[in-house]
Every structure is written in structure tokens, then in C-alpha cells.
Structure 1
Amino acid sequence: MKTYISVPVETRLFLTLVDFLRSNGDSRDPAEVVSFAIEYWLDNASWKPKLLTESSARGYQWKSLFLPDSTELRMQYKGVYSYAKVEGDEIIYDGQSISPGSLANAIAGSSRNAWKDLWIKRPNDKEWRLADECRNEANDTD
């Protein structure tokens, strides 16, 4: 006989999982998927050491690309540069928290591809780098 315990999960995260399952036509119980995710983590943690260490580094996780605290972002549109900065765990633009996609769209006033339009300068970078290049580099090291 199986026994179960309750594990607290942020409501926002659980609802995101429910929406994801629905939008992908997956009829599994979200609790079943959470159990699967734990098993997956256990299977991978032994050969992926970064899964075993909790990072105290602040920054913004943009899909596979981590932007450390104090990273600067910029975009040139119609000859004018606009800037944002990672503060703690958020990207701040005009005093507001914003996602990279929303940042690029706000600057241009239209739908843009943030990977192709935003340039990044992390605290240890000497030069500005296109976000897409940084993403490709991050994916190559995984």
C-alpha cells in the first residue's frame, strides 16, 4: 500500500504546472508529475553537482541564461539606447520589474525578439554581448 505526505509548493508554481499540463494535452494529475519531477531530480543530481548546491547568488534566470545581480541590459531602437539593470532577482526598467521580452517590446513599442535585440553586460564582462550569443554559450556549457 502506498502512503503519501503533503509537501508545500508555491501556489503560483503549482498553477503554472496545471496550466502547462492542460495546454500540452497532458491529463496526468499534477501531483503525479511532481512525484515524477522529484524522481528525475534524484536520478540526475548525482552527476550534475550544481543540482546539489544551493546558490546564494542573486540574479535573474532567463530560461537557460543566468544574469547575475548588477547585470546591465541595453537596446538600441531608432538610434536611442535604453537601459535596464538586474537588481537582486529582478530586471528593473524605469523603476519597474520587467521580463526581457517585455523590456524589448516596451522599448520598441512593438513585438520584438529579446534574444536578438537585447545586449548584456554582466559584472565581469568587459564588452556588451548580444543576449542570443550569451544564451548559446550557456547552452554549450550545460
Structure 2
Amino acid sequence: MTKHISVPVDVDLFLSLVDFLRSKSDSREPVEVISTAIEYWLDSASWKPELLTESSTRGYQWKSLFLPEGTEIRMQYKGAYSYAKVEGDEIIYNGKSISPGSLANTIASSSRNAWKDLWVKRPDDKEWRLADDCRNEQNDTA
């Protein structure tokens, strides 16, 4: 008999996994995929030492894109700009922690693609940049 424990996972992260599995027509249960991800991390950590050290840099990890603390995020909708900011390890909008997807959906009151709707200005950026462009640039250098 296999024994199990419960591990807290951010709700938005879990729902992103569920959505991803559905979009790929993957019928596995999310819990099974999480176990596979842990096994993958354990295999990778033996040859990727950066996985074993915790960075002192604060910020929000948005899939493959890291947004350092102090990053500003904005979205224009119906002619008005709405703003959020990375504080510590969270995106804060109207005083509350929020994910990028929820931020875009909240601002528009409908389902949106945060990569295509959110613009970011990291502390070292001189100009606002579309999140999708930042992600693509990040993936090209990885």
C-alpha cells in the first residue's frame, strides 16, 4: 500500500497545471504529474547545482520569466491603465497578491492572455516591454 502526504501548492499554479494538461489532451491526474515533476527535479538537481541553492534575490517567477522585486506591471484596457507591482515574491494589485493571469482577467473582467496584455518594466528597464517579448527574449538566451 502506498502512503501519501499532502503538500500545499499555490492554487493558481495547480489550476495552470490542470489547464495545461487539458490543452495537451493529457488525461493524467494533476497529482500524478506533480509526482513526476518532483522526480524530474531530483534527477536534475544532481547535475544542476543552482537548483540546490536559494537565491537572496526577491521577485516573482512567472513560468520561465523572472520579474525582480520592484518590477512594475501595467495593462491598458478601454483606454485606462491599471498598474501592479512586484513586492517581495508577489505581484500586488489593489493591495492583494495576484497571479499575472488573474491580473489580466480581473482588469478586463473576462478571460485574457496575460503574456499578450501585460507590459512590464523591470528595475533596470528604461521602457515598458510586452511580457511576451520579455519571455521570448529570456527563452532565446536560455
TM-score (normalizing by structure 2): 0.73
1:11 paired with 2:8, answer: yes
Q: Which amino acid aligns with 1:10?
A: V
- Partner SS, residue 12 of structure 1: coil
- Partner SS, residue 75 of structure 2: strand
Q: Where does structure 2 lack aligned partners over 5 or more consecutive residues?
A: none
Q: CA deviation at 1:11?
A: 3.3
Q: How far apart, CA to CA, are the structure 2 residues paired with 1:9 and 1:59?
A: 26
Aligned twin of 1:74: 74
1:25 paired with 2:27, answer: yes
Aligned twin of 1:120: 120
> Structure 1 56/114 Cα, relative in aligned 2: closer, same or farther at 3 Å?
same
Q: Share of identical aligned residues, percent?
A: 71
> Structure 1 50/80 Cα, relative in aligned 2: closer, same or farther at 3 Å?
same
Q: How far apart, CA to CA, are the structure 2 residues paired with 1:109 and 1:10?
A: 32
- Partner SS, residue 11 of structure 1: coil
Aligned twin of 2:94: 94
Q: CA deviation at 1:86?
A: 0.6
Alpha-carbon RMSD across the aligned residues, in angstroms, is 3.2
Q: CA deviation at 1:9?
A: 7.1
Aligned twin of 2:63: 63
Q: Where does structure 1 lack aligned partners over 5 or more consecutive residues?
A: 1-5
- Partner SS, residue 111 of structure 2: coil
